[in-house]
Amino acid sequence: MEKVLASGAEVFITGDLKYHDARFAEESGLAVIDIGHFASEKLILEPFGDFLRSKAKSEGAELEVFVSNSEIDPFKVIA
């Protein structure tokens, strides 16, 4: 968190924020967006699969890449 502040950033986007880091950010006036560990990884799966396919093709390698859609976020919002 100290490195983020030293960089001059106004907003820090993360997928896994710890309580004390959140408090430190709050006290320091740094805006934080915590999209959650699962959601942050879910966003990159398809693009990363595409990258791997493209890289393998450019290297002349045969590679099958499967991106799972069966995993779900273990955290639920209870209202």
3-class secondary structure, 14 = strand
Whether pTM exceeds 0.75: no
**At residue 77, does pLDDT exceed 90?**
no
**12-62 confidence digits (pLDDT tens):** 999 899 999 999 999 999 999 999 888 888 989 999 999 999 999 999 999
Pair 35, 15: CB distance under 8 Å: yes
Nearest CA to 69 out of 51, 45, 52, 47 is that of: 45
Q: How far apart are CA 79 and CA 77, in angstroms?
A: 6
Q: Which amino acid is at 21?
A: D
